Amino acid sequence: MIRPGHLRKVGVSGRGLVVALPYLWLLLFFVVPFVIVLKISFSDIDLAIPPYKPLIEWIGKNSLAIKVNFNNYAFLFTDPLYIHAFLNSIKVAFISTLLCLIIGYPMAYGIARSTASTRNVLLLLVVLPFWTSLLLRVYAWIGLLKANGVINNVLIWFGVIHEPLTMLYTPFAMYVGIVYSYLPFLILPLYANLEKMDWQLLEAAEDLGCRPWQAFYKITLPLSRNGILAGSMLVFIPAVGEFVIPALLGGPNALMIGRVLWDEFFSNRAWPVASAVAILLLILLVPFMMWYQSVQARESAGAR
């Protein structure tokens, strides 16, 4: 770290300029938009462009009318479709996160315990799919899962099944798609955590008579807690609001809240309802985001 004497040399004005630009950018394009979403979630739907009525209006001379309308929220709580979509999104995101952990933890562990050169290659292999378009990778599963797709053809070829299985446009396909797309997000923070692990602790435990599984359960697992949490948040939070994967693999009955928001906005042009959905989704996710940030802060503090 730079000592105070040097900080003073940098000069307050110079420092201010460095952070002011990204700060103002994010304030204008990331924070202010949420205020507008909140505002529009309280306005009336209107058949106009844009399709909502103003919240604050000058009526006559010197009088300002503010009309706050809770109908959009009331609507979301009375129609079971929305509640169902919210609950289903949480369920799908939670199960997908668990599945990612089950598949990703041994992988992250295996990579962390490889030799340095193998480790770099394996890490590259984990990162590579992340750099190729999500849309194209989800699309690949359509080709694999559909009735005359690769998996069915292979199974029929080997005589395992005689009729093609219905896999595409089912919840199964959606889980496969989400786990597949988000797996790298779980492996990377978990690997970063496991990489710092002192493996001698495990050897000590085994020398003292611990079975390998016991040692894992008592030492590795608790020590990698922050990595598990960070990785799980990186999967869970975006998965709750996921749109592309349920839209392409889940079929018409896959009710996910991200998809509901999309349809309200694009198909029904109900911008205020879409905004209310966004606000509720945000209220649901903000605690998890804050949790994620505190875990991250702990992780980087531990690294120093």
Partner 1 sequence: MNYRRTYFILSCLAFGFAFLYLPILSMVVFSFNASKLVTVWDAAHSPTLKWYYALLSNEEILDAAWISLKVAVINASGAVILGTLAGFGLARFTQFRGRFTLNAMTTAPLVMPEVITGLSLLLLFVALEQSIGWPAGRGITTMTIAHMTFSMAYVTVVVQSRMATFDSALEEAAMDLGARPLKVFFVITLPIIFPAVLSGWLLAFTLSWDDLVISSFTSGPGSSTLPMVVFSKVRLGVSPEINVLATITISVVTMMIVGVSIWMSRAAKIEKAG
Stretch near partner 1 under the rule CB under 8 A, chosen from 61-69, 73-81, 134-142, 217-225: 134-142
Residue 77 · residue 281 · CB < 8 Å: no
Please pick, from the candidates 55, 90, 95, 142, the single residue that binds partner 1 as defined by CB under 8 A.
142
Residues 1-60 that bind partner 1 (CB under 8 A): 1-3, 6-7, 9-11, 14-16, 18-19, 21-23, 25-27, 29-34, 36-37, 40, 50
Binding of residue 144 to partner 1 (CB under 8 A): yes
Binding of residue 178 to partner 1 (CB under 8 A): no
Residue 273 · residue 78 · CB < 8 Å: no
CB of 51 to partner 1, least distance (A): 10
List the one residue out of 43, 27, 9, 100 whose CA is nearest residue 274.
43
Residue 103 token pair: 């598949």
The maximal CA–CA distance of the chain, rounded, in angstroms, is 86
Closer by beta carbon to partner 1, 35 or else 68? 35
The distance from CA 92 to its chain's CA centroid, rounded to whole angstroms, is 12
CB of 171 to partner 1, least distance (A): 18
Please pick, from the candidates 42, 82, 86, 180, the single residue that binds partner 1 as defined by CB under 8 A.
180
CA 53, 54, 59, 63 dihedral sign is: positive
Residue 145 token pair: 């899962």
CB of 3 to partner 1, least distance (A): 8
Q: Is 251 left (phi over 0), alpha (psi -120 to 50) or beta?
A: left
Please pick, from the candidates 57, 58, 132, 268, the single residue that binds partner 1 as defined by CB under 8 A.
132
Residue 172 · residue 253 · CB < 8 Å: no
Residues 234-293 that bind partner 1 (CB under 8 A): 234, 237-238, 240-244, 247-248, 258, 261-262, 265-266, 271, 274-275, 278, 281-282, 285, 288-289, 292-293
Q: Which residue has the tokens 């070829």?
A: 157
Count of Cβ atoms closer than 10 Å to residue 140 Cβ: 14
Residues 85-124 that bind partner 1 (CB under 8 A): 103-104, 106-107, 109-111, 113, 120, 122, 124
Q: Is the peptide bond between 184 and the residue preceding it cis, with omega within 30 degrees of 0?
A: no
Binding of residue 214 to partner 1 (CB under 8 A): no
